[in-house]
Amino acid sequence: MKMSKNHEGVWDACLKVIKDNVSLHAFKTWFEPIVPVKLDGQVLTIQVPSHFFYEWLEENYITLLKKVIKKELGAEGRLEYSIIMENNQTNTTPYTVKLPALNKKALRNSPVSMPINVNENQIRNPFIIPGLKKVNVDSNLNPSYSFDNFVEGDCNRLARASGYAVANKPGGTAFNPLLIYGGVGLGKTHLAHAIGISIKNQFPNKTVLYVGSEKFAHQFIDAIKNQTTNDFIHFYQMIDVLIIDDVQFFSGKEKTQDVFFHIFNHLHQNGKQIILTSDKPPVEMQGMEQRLLSRFKWGLSADLSAPDLETRMAILEKKMYGNGIELPKEVVEYLAYSINTNVREMEGALNTLLAQASLNKKAITLELAKQMVDKFVKNTAREVSIEYIQKVVCDYFDLPLEILKSKTRKREVVQARQISMYFSKKMTKSSLANIGAHCGGKDHATVLHACRTVTNLSETDKQFRSYLEDLEKKLTIQ
């Protein structure tokens, strides 16, 4: 690699290679209009005229683009798009959105030979096209659920790391099967796809298949009906990396468990990788045959828990980036603070907010976000969280959040801490002990004392009372 490259130089070099690999007509249509805009480390940003243009490049030329980027910028080289959008909201200047490159094509499996006669009239199983010896197995992977888009946090460290290890050496680690478990909307499906995508990128010849357990069970029932269970089994035994999502769905379904048991054994014995997800760990799975449960325990079970605040903010930022959206920081913070148990729900809130804003042609403000969250999460008995209270109090007094959570005895910090405790007791259902734990590891007596101090001060000190009133307004969601 040459030193001190600039975006124009890099793009020129890319164009030279591209020109040799596409028709002149395609080159003029799809590559001449591209303007290189920025080189940031190993990330080249190119500007394209429309979203359609972006999709066309991604669909048709991404493999070539990836190759030339790698050649020019090294293995870590990446491509980003910037798209000029007409701004229909305020008829001012157009704005640009940034989008990452996806590379859908790389997720395709090469055709696989089937050890069965597929030339019979009847369609043997849902994946097989009659008259073809080689069949195309759609990997069913979603390119936006990649490792790049999966935010790491304490909540997912083990699961992510083991997924990563499996992706680098499918079938060759002790994590076989890898079972990822956790509650609804915490990223099981995302992580399962990410492993599959990474395997396809590193080992293009491996046949990867993602399938929901429900679909698997239905295919099996159809196979029984059509007397093609052998084909069904053969089909699954051809897969190199089998990802089955939500295996808890198999519980109580004895026959499905049976057939899966056989497929599992075959794959495992042949060094193929199996990745499973479930809403519970194996020990808590009901209605599952013992022999299958014991297989699940052969490898590694890794859990996903609810992400903490920083991780939630990072996830929202990733999502926005993936969709080419920018939002005011306070809005992102607010969403992350107020929706704290389910990532899918938080994303839903983000999407609703975007839809609302574009339908009503309103700017996305904190006010709008508050109204929307109020409607959107009404049914989940939402309460203001201790974290949110601390954040609002810190912003108000212009203190860093870490100081509030520390043990420092500085006067202004002590006061802010006491106020946080006071509002936490008043506005959340948390126990005194829990509130104390969040505020610098205090015990319940300290919290009680803080609440009394705040009440007393508000009765005697006018200035202090006005602080409290301001804060209460900020904390109450209209």
Residues found near Mg ion in the complex (CB under 5 A): 188-189
The answer to whether 289 and 257 are in contact (CB under 8 A) is yes
For position 312 contacting ligand ADP by CB under 6 A, the verdict is: no
Q: Which is nearer to ligand ADP, 274 or 457 (CB)?
A: 274
Q: How far apart are CA 325 and CA 127, in angstroms?
A: 37
- How many residues bind ligand ADP (CB under 6 A)? The answer is 18
For position 185 contacting ligand ADP by CB under 6 A, the verdict is: yes
The entry of Mg ion, ligand ADP, none near residue 36 (CB within 5 to 8 angstroms by kind) is none
In the complex, the smallest distance separating the C-beta of residue 295 from Mg ion, rounded to whole angstroms, is 21
Q: Which is nearer to ligand ADP, 185 or 436 (CB)?
A: 185
For position 315 contacting ligand ADP by CB under 6 A, the verdict is: yes
Q: Which is nearer to ligand ADP, 251 or 420 (CB)?
A: 251
Q: Which of 101, 118, 135, 188 binds ligand ADP (CB under 6 A)?
A: 188
What is the DSSP code (8-state) at residue 223?
Answer: H
Q: How far apart are CA 8 and CA 5, in angstroms?
A: 8
Residue 353's identity, in one-letter code, is: L
In the complex, the smallest distance separating the C-beta of residue 217 from Mg ion, rounded to whole angstroms, is 16
The answer to whether 83 and 95 are in contact (CB under 8 A) is no
Half-sphere exposure of 314 toward its Cβ, with a 13 Å CA cutoff? Answer: 13
Q: Which is nearer to ligand ADP, 146 or 256 (CB)?
A: 146
Q: Which is nearer to ligand ADP, 323 or 458 (CB)?
A: 323
Window 326 to 345, contacts with ligand ADP (CB under 6 A): 343-344
Q: How far apart are CA 386 and CA 395, in angstroms?
A: 14
Q: How far apart are CA 24 and CA 16, in angstroms?
A: 12
Q: How far apart are CA 9 and CA 447, in angstroms?
A: 62
Q: How far apart are CA 355 and CA 348, in angstroms?
A: 10
What sign for the dihedral angle of Cα 306, 311, 312, 314? negative
The span of 119-127, 186-194, 207-215, 351-359 binding ligand ADP (CB under 6 A) equals 186-194
The entry of ligand ADP, Mg ion, none near residue 150 (CB within 5 to 8 angstroms by kind) is ligand ADP
- Among all residues, whose Cβ is closest to ligand ADP? 187
Q: How far apart are CA 225 and CA 223, in angstroms?
A: 5
Q: How far apart are CA 33 and CA 286, in angstroms?
A: 59
Q: Which of 39, 69, 186, 239 binds ligand ADP (CB under 6 A)?
A: 186
For position 308 contacting ligand ADP by CB under 6 A, the verdict is: no
126: exposed, middle or buried (Cβ count in 10 Å: 0-12, 13-18, 19+): middle
In the complex, the smallest distance separating the C-beta of residue 455 from ligand ADP, rounded to whole angstroms, is 41
List of residues contacting ligand ADP (CB under 6 A): 145, 149-151, 156, 182, 184-190, 315, 318, 343-344, 347
